[in-house]
Amino acid sequence: MRKITYREALREGLDEELAHDGNVVIIGEEVAQYNGAYKVTEGLWKKWGDKRVVDAPISEAGFIGMGIGASMLGVRPVMELMFFSFAYVAFDQMMNNAATCRYMSGGLIHVPIVVRGPANGGTNVGATHSHCPENIFANMPGLKVVSPSNAYDAKGLIKSAIRDNDPVYFMENTMLYGASWDVPDNNELPDGELLIPLGSADIKREGNDVTFIAHNRSVIFALEAADKLEAEHGIHAEVVDLRSIRPLDEETFLASVRKTHRAVVIEENKPFCGVAAQIAATIQEKAFDELDAPVLRVSSIDAPAIYSPGVEPQQLPNARRIVEKTLTIC
């Protein structure tokens, strides 16, 4: 088993899908000759040419709208945003058009578009470049939202997202691009390629005392907190990686809560109307009698993203905050 970085895994997935389907194209700012703002598309323009890897002007409203229109005509565009914070510029197209077209056409028109890019803080780029809007897009029926925490999941999910016939908003994390994980070569896989179905959560660590439910980089913090809790307090936490926000794999995290009888939900988004709030409500509604303690949440502190490198890490979820919160119910 080889180790590759998160960005390399994404690049492999994109490359394989460009080869798999001639209708797949990559469009975004600096994705071609410059190899992508985060070097995710490095080498793809040179390999696939101007018709398959296309540089766009600095106008998210323009090129996202173009991609949505192209997807209605059979193209499968993968649109890169430098930051998912910039999606707000194309909000009407992404929410009002992409999400509703298949429903309003009675299933006659599909919108197989993927919009991908980083949705995270922690890089000291200020309040306008640090949003985690997965809860906003997941609120809209017709949209799918994916947020992988590691290279293995990133590759398998980006390939499935591109093949999906609905709009998929694929939210990555700049803090993970350079980190490495085990990802099998295709010749090591029984089906010859890595595909992870959308809407399938994954147990990243087994445990019996408390369930941690997280996605994206919060999974890394949850695993770190689980290590500390076991080493210092003898508490064994089970870590559930959602991977997909919508569709949401309720059965996996509910089964875990029924086993451990306690839950802490962790996310980088703000707490008000967040993904963690939805999950806590789901547990309350469907597994209340299994709980031995209230469902707790660890989110970013509810304020605009802090620019200061010394302070911003304290605003985000971290292992210390998760351990402190967990000890109140264990």
Indicate which residues carry an active-site annotation. 60, 129
Tokens of 188: 């090591």
The CA distance from 99 to 102, in Å, is 8
Distance of alpha carbon 329 from its chain centroid, rounded?
28
Q: Are 93 and 121 in contact (CB under 8 A)?
A: no
Sequence-distant (≥ 6) Cβ neighbours of residue 282 within 8 angstroms: 248, 250, 254
Burial state string for 46-74 with b = 16 or more CB within 10 A and e = fewer than 16: eebeeebbbbbeeebeebbbbbbbbbbee
The CA distance from 297 to 250, in Å, is 17
3 beta partners: 182
Say which DSSP state 184 is in: -
Q: Are 94 and 64 in contact (CB under 8 A)?
A: yes
Name which of 21, 12, 3 is nearest 42 in CA terms: 12
Gap between the terminal Cα atoms of the chain: 37
Sequence-distant (≥ 6) Cβ neighbours of residue 154 within 8 angstroms: 6, 9, 10, 13, 148, 172
Say which DSSP state 271 is in: S
Sequence-distant (≥ 6) Cβ neighbours of residue 54 within 8 angstroms: 25, 26, 27, 31, 32
Residue 141: phi and psi, rounded to 5, are -60, 140
